[in-house]
Structure 1
Amino acid sequence: MTEYYLAVDIGASSGRHILGHMEQGRMVMEEMHRFYNGLTVKDGEACWDLEQLFEEIKTGLKKCREAGKIPVSMGIDTWAVDFVLLDDTDKVLGNAVGYRDKRTEGTDRLVYEVLPEQELYGRTGIQKQIFNTIYQLMAVKKKHPECLEKASAMLLVPDYFQFLLTGRKASEYTNATTTQLVSPKTKDWDFELIEMLGYPRRIFQPVVKPGTVLGNFTEEIQREVGFDCQVILPATHDTGSAVLAVPSNEDKTLYISSGTWSLMGVERKEADCSEKSRGLNFTNEGGYDYRFRYLKNIMGLWMIQSLKKELQDAYSFAGLCEMASGETISSLVDCNDSRFLAPESMIKAVQEYCEDTGQQIPKTPGQLACVIYRSLAQCYGKTVREIEEMTGVHYKKLHVVGGGANAGYLNRLTAASTGKTVLAGPTEATAIGNLMVQMMAKGVLADLKAARQCVYDSFEMKIYEP
């Protein structure tokens, strides 16, 4: 009898239910449900509709039942840093504000009044991003102090969904590290730091590892979806799951998790919290089995996604890639410039950057896509050199996993800019990594080495030479 495992993978623009099972030593996946996600403005804040997302989660579960493919376990991963506050009756306090909202502007200064930026990095190893949870909580403390006063729990988004399924609260480690409030030494909340910042200690839930069995569905959920299921925590940070699915067992493996964000880095056993590392803006996010994902956050395909949307989806991603490959425009932008984080118009933001820096202004869709893709590749090349400087390792290959593995033009540019052989795939890396943890927890896959070999055997890769 086939045993199915369910990965619910929710990104910033869409979510999907992916069923996985094993056939003759290979992982086989099937999409059961796909749904939209996006920010909407509520009370002047950019918010997630978590109620609707949870309805979609349950809809996908019902589709599994209707197909006669009931999973033995499931796990949910999402983006990082965003959270909800719950009162003592488990009701959400305030809005589920998204990380692209501007409420955190200026909150870094308030944090650094308590602990200077250099000391904060030395303590947590997490790169400064103005939307990190540490700054979002400061925004709540400043603008809605009543919410913090009434709060009895803080749950990051995937932890909240899994609480709704099981009635049990916990903070999964890989996502908790992105808050900038976890110690890389203790692998637990830095309660001294939390108290220094004036955040209530009581709201922080126990930190648990990926692979933890959270529990079974509540009776209410069982009645609604028509079956019971065990909830096993994956690496709930989608990048944590994606990096798990990098199909390599080499000790020194370079990767890009390429999606809305491009996360470029390596796995390490110890965090590098040095001032040099901070100066280069690297981060030490938690990984599976307490590894560290030593990486840099790069703006990523968000810029292309925004361009596509602004062009009213008149072109597919493949179409934009093809048009870009035929252009000769040489203009470049700094992908990590804050103006590209949440502009009203990505087209205008790219054009203004080029104008401000005295470069040719891209005007056609092909030129705009070309500038974005070439700029991303240039950023990848610079980041590779910095990683090699910080690790003292020369890498010959670069694995690209996630949706960006389909962007052939970008992969060719990346091979050229980095001087590395690019191995692109698998594209559904996040869902695969989610399933890997469940299967390891169930003993279907013996360990991480066996799981990564399974990914290598199960999914195709495309190769691009420099």
Structure 2
Amino acid sequence: MTKYSIAVDIGASSGRLILGWLENGSLKLDEIHRFENKIVKKGDHYCWEVEKLFQEIKNGLKKCFEMGIKPDSIGIDTWAVDFVLLDENDQPITEAVSYRDPRTDGMMEEVFQLISKERLYLETGIQFQKFNTIYQLYSIKKNHPEILEKAKTFLMIPDYLNYLLTGKKANEYTNATSTQLVNAFTKKWDHQLLDVLGINKDMFQEIKAPKTVLGTLRDELVSELGFDMEVILPATHDTGSAVIAVPEQDGTIYISSGTWSLIGTENYFPICVTKALDYNFTNEGGIDYQYRFLKNIMGLWMIQEVKRNYNDEYSFARFVELAEAAKDFKSIVNVNDDRFLKPDNMVQEIMNYCVETGQPIPSTPGEVAKCVYDSLAVSYQDAVKEIEEIFEKQFEKINVIGGGCQNEMLNQLIADVTNKEVNAGPVEATAIGNIAAQLMALGEIQEINQARGIIKESFEVKKYLPAQPVKN
């Protein structure tokens, strides 16, 4: 009997419920429901509307029921680092504040006064970004200590949505590692670190691995939806799910391309050496306790903001066409500069950067887009060189996955600047990886290598070769 799994995949701008099942050895997908997600201003902070997100999950499940499909399982993945705190009555006492909120400005430097940057990296292996959970919590401790005194439960965004589904509390491993509060070697919450920071370690839940069956739906949800199902932990960090769907790992660097670009490779142990620290690489948790050794790069957030600044006059496909027409324009910005994290106007910020660095200033939508795509390609090129330096070997291929892999211009740019074969696909990598983890938990797929073999045969992957190969 066919087993149906639902992947709830929520990103920074939208969410989807995608139905997945095996049919004659091939993995099939069907998008059931799509909805908007955005940051809103609540009081002094920029926040996610998690209650609305939960309602949209229920709306999608009701659509399933109307289609005559009763899923066997559901798994939720979202972005990382953000969280909700609950009080002794399991009521939220914080909004789900976004990582783009400025409350963490200066917090990283203050934490370094308590624990050195080197020790923090040696213990957690996590990339330094000013919005990491550790700095969000430290900001609360400094500015609103009464909140942490009341807090009895710490749940990251997918953990909280799972709690609303099941009434069960757990912190899932792949997302927990992004907090910079999990020991890279023990894979548990680093209690020594929490003590140094003065953060209550008792509010953190047991860390559970992907493929864990968390439970079934609350009774009231079963009555509302008309069916019950198992809630299974995928890799709840969306990049963790996406990496599951990289068809070939050996000799391959992956780029998970979306609002953020995550570039790296899968590894069996954390790399917490000085060079990895200097290059700001991270060792996030992956499926089967593997490590995602990668770097976070700003990604297509920049072109999303450019599109918004031009009042959505141009589609993403049109921006690619305009950029190709502006082929002679060449200016490069540092996409990882904090000024691009949440500027008032992305187009103006890009122009300002070019002025300050003495480069040609983009004056048309096509030139702005060309600048963004060229800059992303250069940042990927730099990251590839750093990975090869750390691993002391050459990687043969780059596999671009996720929605950004549909940008053929950027794929070709990556092939050209890195002088490597680029494989683009699968597009729905995050949902595919989410469903694969559920099907492994259900016994439909035996292990990760079998899952990747099925994925490779089920979805299209396009190949791009360097236009003018150069000798190394």
**TM-score, with structure 1 as normaliser:** 0.99
**1:60 corresponding residue in structure 2:** 60
How many residues align? The count is 465
Secondary structure at the counterpart of residue 368 of structure 2? helix
Task: Give the Å deviation of 1:364.
Answer: 0.8
Secondary structure at the counterpart of residue 54 of structure 1? helix
- Deviations 1:74-111, CA, capped at 9 Å, x for gaps: 10000000000000111101221100000001111221
- Deviations 1:170-212, CA, capped at 9 Å, x for gaps: 0000000000000111011001111110110111000010000
CA distance in 2, matches of 1:109, 1:411: 37
The within-5 A match list for 1:260-275 is: 260-275=259-274
Secondary structure at the counterpart of residue 332 of structure 2? coil
Task: Give the Å deviation of 1:164.
Answer: 0.5
CA distance in 2, matches of 1:69, 1:309: 37
- Deviations 1:217-257, CA, capped at 9 Å, x for gaps: 00011112221010000000000000000011x43321000
**1:251 corresponding residue in structure 2:** 250
Residues 1:457 and 2:449 aligned together: no
Secondary structure at the counterpart of residue 19 of structure 1? strand
- Deviations 1:306-358, CA, capped at 9 Å, x for gaps: 11122121111111111101211111100000000000100011000001001
Q: Identity over the aligned pairs, expressed in percent?
A: 54
1:288 alignment partner AA: I
CA distance in 1, matches of 2:234, 2:288: 11
Stretches of structure 2 lacking an aligned partner (at least 5 in a row): 467-472
Task: Give the Å deviation of 1:143.
Answer: 1.6
**1:189 corresponding residue in structure 2:** 189
1:142 alignment partner AA: K
Residues 1:142 and 2:146 aligned together: no
**1:113 corresponding residue in structure 2:** 113
1:99 alignment partner AA: Y
8 Å contact kept, 2:8–2:74:
yes
CA distance in 2, matches of 1:311, 1:255: 31
CA distance in 2, matches of 1:159, 1:258: 24
- Deviations 1:2-59, CA, capped at 9 Å, x for gaps: 3211000000000000000111100010000000001011112101111111110111
Task: Give the Å deviation of 1:214.
Answer: 0.1
The within-5 A match list for 1:27-38 is: 27-38=27-38
2:410 alignment partner AA: L
CA distance in 2, matches of 1:236, 1:180: 16
Residues 1:442 and 2:442 aligned together: yes
Q: Which moved more, 1:415-424 or 1:312-321?
A: 312-321
The within-5 A match list for 1:284-295 is: 284-295=283-294
- Deviations 1:263-291, CA, capped at 9 Å, x for gaps: 00001111111111100111101111111
CA distance in 1, matches of 2:220, 2:406: 41
- Deviations 1:422-464, CA, capped at 9 Å, x for gaps: 0000111000000000001111111100000011000001111
The within-5 A match list for 1:156-175 is: 156-175=156-175
**2:198 corresponding residue in structure 1:** 198
**1:242 corresponding residue in structure 2:** 242
1:104 alignment partner AA: T
**1:80 corresponding residue in structure 2:** 80
- Deviations 1:130-187, CA, capped at 9 Å, x for gaps: 0000000001111211110001000000000001100000000000000000011101
- What RMSD in Å do the two structures reach over aligned CA positions? 0.8
The within-5 A match list for 1:366-385 is: 366-385=366-385
CA distance in 2, matches of 1:135, 1:368: 33
CA distance in 2, matches of 1:421, 1:147: 51
Secondary structure at the counterpart of residue 85 of structure 2? strand
CA distance in 1, matches of 2:346, 2:414: 22
Task: Give the Å deviation of 1:363.
Answer: 1.4
**2:469 corresponding residue in structure 1:** none
CA distance in 1, matches of 2:440, 2:95: 36
8 Å contact kept, 2:252–2:396:
no
CA distance in 2, matches of 1:264, 1:161: 28
**2:303 corresponding residue in structure 1:** 304
**TM-score, with structure 2 as normaliser:** 0.98
